[in-house]
């Protein structure tokens, strides 16, 4: 897979590595890499939060803060690599925009060429063979010492990483034993009602009032798909606007292990019955 030149940076897709013009590197984790490449594909155009959630999280149940953290991390990476001409902007109430100044790439390559030419010129001025031989011997000894030091550091790092992994695995195992039910599925946290064979669980985490009886009545008046499933819905206040609400949902079939999740970054309480109806229509495999 070919490397991609982005202003004064180079992206290696095979290793998810960003490299700047002086050789500094940062390896991106899979999720930030997916977000960055999607923004790169749409460079110069705004990419909505819904599009980022659907493409990079594949519809998983996540909060807006998760996307904000990924964007913040990418900005820190660009700053650490001294990215020139690359800007990751926030587009209010829409999403994010990646802009690239193509002239920055030309300037960067010219600076690198001048630097290499300067080094070659300095090397040609070393005319004394004996002096060159002594310097070469000293440099070789120094390189051996550096390599030994790096080997020790790598060994220590590998031991620490292994220890951290063992601690993390132990923590996950302990947490799994302590809580066999995911927090999203704790039924006592929700307001519950049932229509036909579908159990609905609603949790309102906003200051807006929610009338569950009215929602049930509205759903019963709509052409609701018959579905043998449990539907969990959580409603949050958007982190971007106090007047906008976001929704996270999870469905689980009663007679099989089929399940699914969905997310909406913007919706209103008046739209909730329609949102639920449309979600049931799309969940054919779960409702079978």
Using one digit for the tens of pLDDT, what is the confidence trace for 117-148?
Answer: 455 555 545 545 555 555 666 566 666 666 66
Please tell me the pTM assigned to this model: 0.42
Which domains can be identified in the chain, with CATH numbers?
A: 4-100 (1.10.10.10), 186-286 (3.30.565)
Q: What are phi and psi of 261, to 5 degrees?
A: -135, 165
pLDDT digits (tens, 9 = 90+) for 17-68: 999 988 899 999 999 999 999 999 988 899 998 888 888 987 677 778 888 9
Tokens at 15, concatenated: 């290793």
Tokens at 226, concatenated: 């018959």
Are 284 and 277 spatial neighbours (Cβ–Cβ below 8 Å)? Answer: no
d(CA 243, CA 237): 8
């Amino acid at each position: 897979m070919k490397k991609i030149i982005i202003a004064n940076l180079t992206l290696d897709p095979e290793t998810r590595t960003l490299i700047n013009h002086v050789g500094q590197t940062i390896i991106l984790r899979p999720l930030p890499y997916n977000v960055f490449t999607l923004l790169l594909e749409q460079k110069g155009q705004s990419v909505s939060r819904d599009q980022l959630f659907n493409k990079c999280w594949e519809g998983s149940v996540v909060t807006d803060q998760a996307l904000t953290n990924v964007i913040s991390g990418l900005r820190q990476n660009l700053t650490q690599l001294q990215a020139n001409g690359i800007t990751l902007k926030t587009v209010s109430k829409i999403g994010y925009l990646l802009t690239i100044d193509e002239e920055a790439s030309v300037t960067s390559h010219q600076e690198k060429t001048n630097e290499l030419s300067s080094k070659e010129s300095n090397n040609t001025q070393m005319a004394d063979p004996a002096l060159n031989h002594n310097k070469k011997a000293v440099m070789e000894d120094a390189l051996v010492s550096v390599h030994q030091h790096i080997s020790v550091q790598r060994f220590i790092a590998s031991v620490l990483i292994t220890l951290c992994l063992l601690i993390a695995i132990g923590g996950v195992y302990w947490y799994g034993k302590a809580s066999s039910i995911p927090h999203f599925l704790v039924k006592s946290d929700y307001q519950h009602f049932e229509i036909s064979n579908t159990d609905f669980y609603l949790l309102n985490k906003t200051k807006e009032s929610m009338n569950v009886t009215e929602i049930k009545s509205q759903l019963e008046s709509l052409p609701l798909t018959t579905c043998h499933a449990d539907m969990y819905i959580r409603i949050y206040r958007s982190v971007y606007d106090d007047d906008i609400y976001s929704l996270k949902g999870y469905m689980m079939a009663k007679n099989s292990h089929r399940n699914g999740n969905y997310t909406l970054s913007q919706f209103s309480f008046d739209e909730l019955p329609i949102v639920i109806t449309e979600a049931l229509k799309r969940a054919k495999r779960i409702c079978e």
